[in-house]
Amino acid sequence: MNLAGREVLIWGFGRHGGGLAAARFAAAEGARVRILDRQPAAALGSDGEQAELAGWPWALGGAEHPWFATAEIIIPSPAIPPRAWPAQHPPVISPEALALVHHHGPRVAVTGTKGKSTTARILGELLGWTVAGNSNEPLLAAVARCGSAAPLVIELSSFQLQYLQPHAPRFDAALITNLAQDHLDWHGDIAAYHAAKIALLEWAPLLALGPGCPARATVSAVTITAETYVDATGAVIARRQDLGLLGQHNAENAALALSLAIALAVPRAELPTRLRQVRPLPHRLQTVHQGQWTWIDDSIATTPESALAGIAAVKGPLLVILGGADKGADWTLLAAGVTARGAQVLTIGYTGPALAAAIGAAGGAVTACDDLATAVQRIDLAPGGTVLLSPACSSLDQFTSFEARGDTFAALARGRDGLRPQAHA
């Protein structure tokens, strides 16, 4: 798509780099860039500051704004749901679709209901490729920085995959960690959510698929035993201890990544060393403080399934903090799982009362709190136990992001051990 000389509207700028990368890319292509967002540039941190320095016209509003109808091309934030679009609108290309039009190098797509960010990083280490997309560097920024021929591991959310469907882009391989329920508030129902994910299966010849995925021909599988990763012949690929990440779900996702790495011709002898280079990502089962208790930040866990995986990864006495914004989840399995684990539970946020009711009905030990700061002050756990923030919900009722929620948790953890906590974000 030729952007030179055309009126391009960035709809939904945000604060995580995607809108800024899209605006910079369009401007570099010779487009006349305008930005439309519900918030002013000053409210969007450094990204907003960069937009103001660039001098791009900025307006407040949505599809009802006059700029929307007069734009020649719209580049939307993937966070904008289908229901927000009017029936008639100018041509649309998402940031990811625009990037993939300009990218001609090897590329692997990674998605899944949970675990996709960490799995993309594992696969990036195994392949020695740049990781971009979704929670990483924006894909447009990575293509601009690394060049159109650079090999990329691309993490894709269901939102991004939905916007990619009209383009059916090519990938050399694809990995889906698992399929469960999420983002019903955006997609409308689970069928639409799953359809966005599994469209990826038609875009790649090599597939590595986890639980819940449709039956398809896949690459030869690496499996995880108690202590080793083995191939279909029983040959040892690596040891479990080579992966320095908590949780059986991470071990299983690493097996998927190893399967794909072997299919993409990474020398087997190098895989253990590359696996040892993997480090925990922030807010993903990350130990953030060690004092009277071990404090683990799993703020990225925004579904019941991901929270249950985090809970299963922790041994010994456990207190877990659950709750946040509602994405249409069902709490039944989470309530049963946390009760069976014998964990204490503190609930917070908008979903706190519903979670507390479900866990109480399942026979669990639960205390409802208003917010994270209150919950941390009410912790009463045997010394040596673990406090886990694995909320099972979005952060957007009381925080600007899951990162802000995790950072606040870490500060409050230090505060319980006598250091002054930071203000509630």
Domain residue extents for the chain = 7-93, 98-276, 286-416
Distance CA 305, CA 122 (A): 20
As a whole number, mean pLDDT of residues 158-181 equals 96
Nearest CA to 307 among 330, 280, 289?
330
Q: Which CATH superfamily is domain 7-93 in?
A: NAD(P)-binding Rossmann-like Domain (3.40.50.720)
CATH class, 286-416 region: alpha beta
**Which top CATH class is 98-276?**
alpha beta
- Are 391 and 307 in contact by the 8 Å Cβ rule? The answer is yes
Look at residue 270 in the predicted model and tell me its pLDDT: 98
Q: What region, left, alpha or beta, does residue 219 occupy, with left being phi > 0 and alpha being psi -120 to 50 degrees? A: beta
Which tens digit of pLDDT belongs to each residue from 106-156? 999 999 998 999 999 999 999 999 999 999 999 999 999 999 999 999 999
Q: What residues have CB less than 8 Å from 46, skipping those under 6 apart?
A: none
- Give the type of residue at 308: L
CA 401 and chain centroid, separation:
11
Selection from 332, 285, 305, 333 nearest residue 392 by Cα: 305
* Per-residue pLDDT reduced to its tens digit, 213-251: 998 999 999 999 989 999 999 999 999 999 999 999 999
Share of the chain above pLDDT 90, in %: 91
Q: What is the mean pLDDT of residues 363-382?
A: 96
Give me the sheet containing 73-76, strands edge to edge.
58-60, 32-37, 7-11, 73-76
Q: What is the mean pLDDT of the chain?
A: 95
